[in-house]
Amino acid sequence: MATQNATTYFSYLSKSSYIILQSLYLPIGCSSIVGNSIVLLSYFKFKQVRSIDCALLIVALALSDLICGVGAIIIGLARLETAVLNDFNYSRFFCIFSAVPNIIGIEMSQVMTMAVAIDRLLAVSSPLTYRKSNHRLYAAVSFLIALLSGGVILLMSVVGFDFNKQPSRCSWTSGVHTISVNIFVGSNALAGPIVAVIYAVVVYKQRKWNTQNVAGRMDQSTKKFLANQAKMTSILTKLVIIYCTLVAVPLTTMELWTILDISPVFTSNVLSPLRNIAMSLNSAVNVLVYAHSSSNLRPFLLRLLCGKRVAAACAPATRVTAAPHHTMPINSPTNGL
């Protein structure tokens, strides 16, 4: 039997405001699915894309973001079903598992973003060793860890509570055990500052290598490799900045806000949904960074979007996007983004 009705459920946030808020999931999810599907198709369709450094890391991140996007549509439709149809006879199972795909995608994306940060740290800390390392193995292990993190979310979604008892609100945080919520928010709140610190070190070391490169202390091969790595670091730094803005800052702020017990009702009804929407938005904007910043990846994204014959017309006039494929190194280990 339902323990909620429209009066109690929308006592703090009006029904119209709730519908507007939850509706934001739908365009975010659609954009994420389309954008990340294009990135994945580019990887499998074009050999040149597969030769790009960090290609597998980008594919793993895109797949994580795609899962997040699918989950965003599921959670948006589920929450709108409750509000639009006034269906307050929701079950704990429905509330939890309508959110699980989105949360798993967010968690996997977090892991892959940290993997990208560590990859950049290794590249600038010891570039010659990094040059000889097995990037495919690193990407595979990173994605396996991301899958395991998703498995942990799934485990936390099924233990420690009674499925027969209806939660006060239809949300993952209200449905699962408090310990699971604290583990999820706390661990992810720590992940953001860790990634930020890693990238601060990356930027410092990158500038150091740039200074050495300008000073002419290295051979041409090493200089070329470092130049490609500097280009890639610049592009991936944009991804990390977006991640910190849309994911790390909301999670860390939310954790501090919860610890300080500031306006718990406002936090539950407004801040928590906004946090989840911001984290989901991160999955939709990464592809824009690839398309805007990556001169090697952009032509192939445009070919999938515009078709082979009109790709040149879609591309900016200042870019050489219609060049023959053979002008791009196929198996070069220093082929950057």
Percent of residues, the chain, with pLDDT higher than 90: 24
Q: Which of the residue ranges 16-30, 135-149, 302-316 would you say has the lowest mean pLDDT?
A: 302-316
pLDDT at 103: 93
Question: Do 269 and 309 have their domain in common?
Answer: no
Question: Do 180 and 284 have their domain in common?
Answer: yes
pLDDT at 301: 62
User: Would the pLDDT of 261 be above 60?
Assistant: yes
Domain-located, residue 153: yes
Question: Do 198 and 318 have their domain in common?
Answer: no
pLDDT at 313: 45
Question: Do 196 and 256 have their domain in common?
Answer: yes
CATH number at residue 85: 1.20.1070.10
Domain-located, residue 10: no
pLDDT at 188: 79
More confident residue, 49 or 333: 49
Question: Do 85 and 194 have their domain in common?
Answer: yes
SS3 319: coil
CA distance 207 to 197: 16
pLDDT at 12: 82
Work out the average pLDDT over 125-135. 80
pLDDT at 143: 94
Q: Do residues 80 and 19 touch, judged by C-beta distance below 8 A?
A: yes
DSSP string, 107-128: HHHHHHHHHHHHHHHHHHHSHH
Average pLDDT of the residues of the chain: 79
Burial of 176 (0-12, 13-18, 19+ CB in 10 A): buried
CA distance 321 to 103: 37
pLDDT tens per residue across span 171-214: 888 889 888 888 887 887 788 888 888 888 887 877 776 666 55
Indicate the pTM of the whole model.
Answer: 0.81
What Å distances lie between residue 26 and 30, 68, 71, CA to CA?
Answer: 6, 12, 10
Question: Do 171 and 308 have their domain in common?
Answer: no
SS3 323: coil
Domain-located, residue 337: no
Question: Do 221 and 92 have their domain in common?
Answer: yes
Where residue 298 falls among pLDDT bands split at 50, 70, 90? low
Domain-located, residue 309: yes
Q: Which of the residue ranges 3-7, 66-70, 73-77 would you say has the lowest mean pLDDT?
A: 3-7
Domain-located, residue 6: no
pLDDT at 108: 93
Q: Using the Cα atoms of residue 314, residue 319, residue 323 and residue 326 in order, give the sign of their dihedral.
A: negative
Question: Do 26 and 45 have their domain in common?
Answer: yes
User: Would the pLDDT of 295 be above 60?
Assistant: no
Nearest to 99 by CA among 32, 202, 22, 213: 22
Q: Do residues 120 and 199 touch, judged by C-beta distance below 8 A?
A: yes
Q: Does residue 307 come out as left (phi exceeding 0), alpha (psi in the -120 to 50 range) or beta? A: left
Domain-located, residue 66: yes
122 is in which domain, residue-wise? 15-294
**Three-state secondary structure along 254-292?**
HHHHHHCCCCHHHHHHHHHHHHHHHHHHHHHHHHHHHHH
Q: Do residues 100 and 21 touch, judged by C-beta distance below 8 A?
A: no
Number of domains in the chain: 2
Work out the average pLDDT over 100-125. 89
Question: Do 309 and 254 have their domain in common?
Answer: no
Say which residue the tokens 């699915």 belong to: 33
pLDDT at 245: 84
Q: Do residues 248 and 192 touch, judged by C-beta distance below 8 A?
A: yes
pLDDT at 275: 84
Highest mean pLDDT range out of 92-106, 188-202, 262-276?
92-106
More confident residue, 20 or 311: 20
Q: Do residues 103 and 185 touch, judged by C-beta distance below 8 A?
A: no
pLDDT tens per residue across span 33-59: 998 998 888 888 877 777 776 788 889
pLDDT at 146: 95
Where residue 160 falls among pLDDT bands split at 50, 70, 90? confident
Burial of 236 (0-12, 13-18, 19+ CB in 10 A): buried
pLDDT at 13: 83
User: Would the pLDDT of 61 be above 60?
Assistant: yes
Question: Do 93 and 170 have their domain in common?
Answer: yes
More confident residue, 234 or 305: 234
pLDDT at 151: 94
What Å distances lie between residue 100 and 74, 218, 281, CA to CA?
Answer: 9, 50, 16
Question: Do 190 and 310 have their domain in common?
Answer: no
Question: Do 314 and 225 have their domain in common?
Answer: no
pLDDT at 326: 42
Where residue 217 falls among pLDDT bands split at 50, 70, 90? low
User: Would the pLDDT of 315 be above 70?
Assistant: no
Where residue 27 falls among pLDDT bands split at 50, 70, 90? very high
Domain-located, residue 191: yes
Domain-located, residue 2: no
